[in-house]
Amino acid sequence: MPAVRVRFAPSPTGYLHVGGARTALFNWLYARKTGGTMVLRIEDTDQERSTEAHTQVILDGLTWLGITWDEGPYFQAEAGPKHKADAEQLLGEGKAYRCFCTKAELDAAREAAERAKSSFRYDGRCGRLSAAEVQGRLDRGEPFSVRLRMPDEEIAWEDAVHGRISFQGRDLDDFIILRSDGTPIYNLAVVSDDIAMRITHVIRGDDHVSNTPKQIALYRAFGQPTPVFAHVPMILGNDGKKLSKRHGATAVGDYQNQGILPLAMRNFLALLGWSPGGDREVLPEPEMIALFSLEGIQKKAAVFDTTKLEWMNGQYLSALPAADLLPPVTRHLAEVGVSTEGRDLAALVDAVKVRSRTLLDIAHQVAVRVDGSRVTRDAKGDALVAKLGDAFPGNLRLVLGVLEGAEWTAPALEAAVKALAEAEGKKLGDLMQPIRVALTGGTVSEPVNELLAVVGRDESLARIRRAAGL
């Protein structure tokens, strides 16, 4: 077996879509697992839609996700002369032919097929022209495209994900491989490059399944062995429809901006259509690589579940030391104009990170703790106020009475509130929850004594007074 060589071959016509990132990831995992080589090839043959900015976004997205490549980026458009030469080689060998049909002729044939309610297939008429006829047309300077002569034989492959897939050559067109301006059609460019780059495994989205028989016909025409094909399933939104902007963000960069950690995103993407077996979900890189296999890729479409992504992100956030989270959290805080100067930001981050789903969430919760003007009562806070009625301000006033004289450390604050509950015959929760609402606007937070400590004495007392209507 030759050493594994895989490639990620994005077209730089837009941002890095999560589906593309997942394809890149599977290629990368397979390369790392097998000790093979990961090639990055930018398929920029569509010169009108491809831009350098898009290429940069793709490279940045891969780098952010920690998906590294060993060769490239190669730019497909640079191989234009080679693609043309390859088409000419097939022409010379009679495996391809010149097609002089004009657009008007082809359009008319297509319309006739539509009228007859049959699907259009090029009838191969130019493939039957005599050599003299071809020469005459060339001498007259007639433009031509080049078509592959599709053999009348079965074209099948053992897909590493789907098993055997088979097509009949006679059901496929003599498709164009070179346009009349000498530029290659996608299928020729891909096969020509994959042969030149000695790609052994083509791992890509299963929207390419219909291209594969055409590509295999080209491998055969070139007398080259075909690579292993692994077509990975589509990604759907949670309504079962193909993932699109309607479902929310589809660009990797959007998740970066929303405060998803790159390793959490990568872990989440790995599980879209691949299962490591068992119920393992949080997978450190070495395990992900060790467990990865093409056989583990599922046939059925995967569902992009944002709640699961946030859960995954929460798992990574809780496991990281605050120090690692400080730079991005500081950046997000600066963006919303919150200064944390003179504050122990690491303590603040530690206080909130286990209950956070994203870096933005952490930044928001830190902001609420350092800046009282950011406290807004949420629905659960409102519900508590309604439920307790007069006891809400009443209990807060009782609390104030003991907190004002308490030593401002988490253990002392806890002891003070507990003693108050006992002395007053109150449920502890009826004292604690109003403090939470007064300090954060909501009913979920770190333990109340820690919350008081982190917000600080003067600010805590001020917020409690305000909530108590004092």
Q: How far is the CB of 208 from ligand GLU (least distance, A)?
A: 6
Q: Is the dihedral of CA 329, 331, 337, 341 positive or negative?
A: positive
Report phi then psi at 124, rounded to 5.
75, 20
In the complex, minimum distance from the CB of residue 56 to ligand GLU, in angstroms, rounded to a whole number: 16
Closest CB 192 distance from ligand GLU, rounded Å: 12
CA proximity to 329, closest of 311, 307, 310, 344: 344
Nearest to 39 by CA among 78, 2, 10, 74: 74
Distance CA 176, CA 435 (A): 73
Cβ distance to ligand GLU smaller for residue 26 or 97: 26
Q: Which is nearer to ligand GLU, 193 or 414 (CB)?
A: 193
Backbone angles phi, psi at 249, to 5 degrees: -65, 135
Tokens of 113: 């097929």
Measured between alpha carbons, how far is 365 from 359 in angstroms, rounded to an integer? 10
> Three-state DSSP class for 350?
helix
Q: Closest by alpha carbon to 433, among 412, 416, 447?
A: 447
Choice between 10 and 393, CB closer to ligand GLU? 10
User: Minimum distance from CB of 214 to ligand GLU (Å)?
Assistant: 11
- Residue 121 or 208: the one with the smaller Cβ distance to ligand GLU is 208
Contacts to ligand GLU by CB under 6 A: 9-11, 43, 190, 204, 208
In the complex, least distance from residue 270 CB atom to ligand GLU, rounded to whole angstroms = 19
Nearer to ligand GLU, 10 or 36 (CB): 10
Q: Are 244 and 237 in contact (CB under 8 A)?
A: yes
CB 399, CB 425: distance < 8 Å: no
**Residue 307's beta-bridge partner residues?**
none
Cβ atoms of residues 204 and 210 within 8 Å: no
Pairing of strands 5-8, 37-42: parallel
Residue whose entry in the numeric block shows the structure tokens 């599980």: 271
Active-site residue, from 82, 95, 242, 245: 245
DSSP string computed for 431-455: HHHHHHHHHHSSS--S-HHHHHHHH
Q: With respect to ligand GLU, which residue has the nearer C-beta, 25 or 451?
A: 25
What is the rounded radius of gyration, in angstroms, for the C-alpha atoms of the chain?
A: 32
Task: Please state the closest distance from residue 16 (CB atom) to ligand GLU, in A.
Answer: 11
Contacts 24+ apart (CB under 8 A), 421-427: 424/398, 426/395, 426/398
C-alpha distance across the termini of the chain, in Å: 79
Residue 95 is among the residues annotated as catalytic for this protein: no
Q: How far is the CB of 223 from ligand GLU (least distance, A)?
A: 21
- E strand segments, 138-221: 145-148, 154-159, 163-168, 176-178, 201-205
Closest to ligand GLU by CB, 11 vs 440, is 11
Catalytic residue list: 245
